[in-house]
Every structure is written in structure tokens, then in C-alpha cells.
Amino acid sequence: MPRPAMKTVRQQQLIDATLISVERYGLHHTTINTISGLAGLSSGLISHYFGGKQGLIEATLKYLLDELKQALLSRILGKNLSAAERLSMIVESNFTEFQRSTAATKTWLSFWSQAVHDPGLARLQHINSQRLYSNLAFAFKQLMPDDVAINAAKQTAAMIDGFWLRSALSSCPEKEFEQAQILCKAFIEAVIMQHGENKCR
């Protein structure tokens, strides 16, 4: 397997350092210097590769989004899953060990608060929300009428986001994250039991 290009390696080092910096200092106090210091790289590389701190912040959010995407793909690609199993995999992909890590949770929370004021981050968060909804709706529509499936997808997406947020802010997040997955899956099972047999053929 060929080695990744040095550019790719350094970019990932800076993204990893950004996650650590936000975890330690918060997004507001994360600077080019804190990031470059943690990465052990010249601060000039941030401008060179990302055009500055804001570009690196957006690249870090894209990295978190890609981790979500890859977590789902690794669970569904090449597998003959039922729609119900696919829904379960969607839940699990949002509560992976990486997405539950302190660095990821603190970075997500910082991004969400900043997205209210930053159009670039808001756009990325919108992509994230739409991707989750679309994946859920696709699976639910295989099990029930479209109008019911749409509502089920919206409710499930809200539950996943809400439980994730409550768990991230909890004093005992690991336990809460585990409970969150169970509750989200239980909700999906209840919806399927109630509406799953009403799918028009």
C-alpha cells in the first residue's frame, strides 16, 4: 500500500491538533499557535494548506462529518441488510467510540454554537442534518407509507441528535451514550411495529 503524501499527513496532523486544542481550550481560545504547537508543525502550514484558521476549522468539521459517513458505510456496504437492520446501523454510526470521545463531543458542541453565527459552519451542519434524515427516510420508506416514513425519519433524527446532545453534556456520558442507543433503537422498533405492515405494495 503506498504511503500517503506528506501534504495529506500534515493536514491530518493539523486536524487532529485542532480537535485536541478545542477539547483543551474551547473553540474561542483555539488559535493558530495552539494548533501548530500541538501538531509540532510550523504555524505557516495552516495558511498554506487551509488558508488560515477558519479554513482549518471547517476542514475539521468536514473530517467529523466524514467519520460519520464512513462509520455507516463500514456497517452497510456489501451486506444484505433489511431496512430495519439498516436503521439500527444508522443509530450505531452516530454513537461510535470516536463520536463519543471527549475531543469529538467538545468539538461538535463548539461547532454547533458557532454555526449560529458562521455561514460556512452552518452550511456543513445543514449537510449533516440532511444526510441523517435522508438515510433514515430511505429505510423507513421501505417499511411504511411515505408520509408516515417521513415523520418517522424526522422524529428519529431528532431523537438521535437530542440524545447525543444530552449524553455529551452529561456528567456520566459513557453510560448515557449507551442508553441513548438503546432508546433510539427501541423507538424505531415501536414505529415499525405500529406502521410497518401498512406499506402499500
Q: Per mean pLDDT, which range of 66-70, 85-89, 112-116, 139-143 is the poorest?
A: 112-116
Where do the domains of the chain lie, and which CATH numbers do they carry? 61-198 (1.10.357.10)
pLDDT for res 28: 87
Handedness of CA 6, 106, 168, 138 (dihedral sign): negative
Please, what is the average pLDDT of the chain? 92
CA distance 56 to 107: 13
Q: What is the pTM of this model?
A: 0.88
Q: Are 58 and 41 spatial neighbours (Cβ–Cβ below 8 Å)?
A: no
